[in-house]
């Protein structure tokens, strides 16, 4: 007997066959895969190129394998954030370095006749003025050592001249200490007639006013300062 089928009946039959195959695929899908696979482990597709979903769980997101019209999503470029403004570096405060001290060495030779009367160890007013000038130079200096050395001429005995030179530098130290100089900074020494400035043949003859005037450079007091000075 010949039977004629309508297009609707044919379509239902195809759909039924596919669904039946899908049902059988579901029976063979113990792992719960999302798509229906055939016996060759190939995903079954419809006539439109779409993969058949097994019904297990939500369908996977579309991809080129199961969607012929798939267009890959391209994320829009992320705008680069403007670089943050660099904070100004903290102001550097220069360390206050104390000024370096400067070594000071100064030597002063004073005429003993300007400091003392002849054959005396008491300071004259002119001698005190000369020492005040020297002491005034110490206001910006930190003295380490002040050495005062007394000298005498050759008139008189060696012993007497030695004693006179020691008395004169002692008077110099006492005056400097009275003007504020630390006593432990001042050292004194008497050399007597042992270190004359004049030469042996310069002042020849017995004691006289002429010889006394000629030997004047030998009667002296030398003051030597060693210390440091703050340089601004």
Question: Do 28 and 109 belong to one domain?
Answer: no
Q: Is residue 62 part of a domain?
A: yes
**Residue 76 Cα distances to 69, 73, 146, 225, angstroms:** 21, 9, 88, 86
DSSP 98-142: PPPEEEEEEEEEEEHHHHB-TT--SBPHHHHHHHHHHHHTTTTEE
Contacts of 17 (CB under 8 A, 6+ apart): none
25-76 pLDDT, tens digit each: 445 455 666 666 666 777 766 666 667 666 666 666 666 667 666 666 667 7
Residue range of the domain that includes 170? 101-198+205-230
Q: Which residue has the higher pLDDT, 178 or 71?
A: 178
Question: Do 58 and 127 belong to one domain?
Answer: no
Question: Per-residue confidence at 10, pLDDT binned at 50, 70, 90?
Answer: very low
Question: Do 123 and 192 belong to one domain?
Answer: yes
188-229 pLDDT, tens digit each: 999 999 999 998 888 888 888 899 889 988 989 999 888 887
Question: Do 51 and 125 belong to one domain?
Answer: no
CATH number of 145's domain = 3.30.1330.60
- Of 30, 55, 71, which closes a domain? 71
Question: Do 40 and 125 belong to one domain?
Answer: no
Place of tokens 């419809």: 46
CA dist., res. 106 & res. 175, Å (int)? 19
Q: Is residue 128 part of a domain?
A: yes
How is residue 56 written in tokens? 């297990």
**Residue 111 Cα distances to 10, 195, 226, angstroms:** 147, 15, 21
Q: Is residue 80 part of a domain?
A: no
Question: Do 55 and 123 belong to one domain?
Answer: no
Question: Do 107 and 213 belong to one domain?
Answer: yes
- Of 27, 55, 71, which closes a domain? 71
Q: Is residue 88 part of a domain?
A: no
Question: Do 119 and 213 belong to one domain?
Answer: yes
Q: Which of 151, 141, 149 is nearest to 180 (CA)?
A: 141
Q: What is the pLDDT of residue 25?
A: 42
Q: Which residue has the higher pLDDT, 113 or 160?
A: 160
Q: Which residue has the higher pLDDT, 128 or 230?
A: 128
Tally of domains within the chain:
2
Q: Is residue 2 part of a domain?
A: no
What letter would DSSP give residue 30?
Answer: T
- Of 49, 71, 93, which closes a domain? 71
Statement: residue 166 has pLDDT above 90: yes
Q: What is the pLDDT of residue 16?
A: 43
Statement: residue 165 has pLDDT above 90: yes
Question: Per-residue confidence at 168, pLDDT binned at 50, 70, 90?
Answer: very high
Question: Do 131 and 41 belong to one domain?
Answer: no
């Amino acid at each position: 007997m010949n039977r004629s089928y309508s297009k609707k009946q044919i379509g239902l039959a195809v759909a039924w066959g596919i669904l039946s195959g899908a049902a059988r695929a579901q029976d063979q899908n113990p792992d719960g895969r999302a798509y229906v696979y055939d016996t060759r482990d190939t995903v079954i597709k419809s006539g439109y190129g779409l993969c058949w979903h097994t019904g297990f769980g939500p369908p996977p997101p579309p991809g080129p394998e199961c969607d012929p019209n798939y267009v890959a999503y391209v994320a829009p470029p992320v705008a680069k954030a403007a670089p943050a403004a660099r904070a100004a570096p903290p102001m550097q405060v220069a360390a206050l370095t104390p000024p370096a001290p400067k070594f000071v060495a100064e030597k002063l030779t004073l005429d003993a006749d300007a400091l003392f009367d002849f054959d005396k160890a008491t300071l004259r007013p002119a001698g005190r003025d000369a020492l005040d000038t020297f002491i005034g130079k110490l206001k910006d200096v930190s003295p380490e050592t002040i050495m005062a050395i007394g000298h005498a001429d050759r008139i008189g005995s060696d012993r007497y001249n030695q004693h006179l030179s020691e008395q004169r530098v002692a008077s110099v130290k006492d005056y400097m200490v009275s003007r504020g100089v630390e006593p432990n900074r001042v050292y004194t020494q008497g050399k007597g007639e042992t270190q004359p400035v004049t030469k042996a043949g310069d002042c020849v003859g017995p004691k006289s006013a002429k010889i006394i005037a000629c030997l004047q450079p030998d009667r002296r007091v030398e003051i030597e300062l060693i210390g440091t000075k703050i340089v601004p």
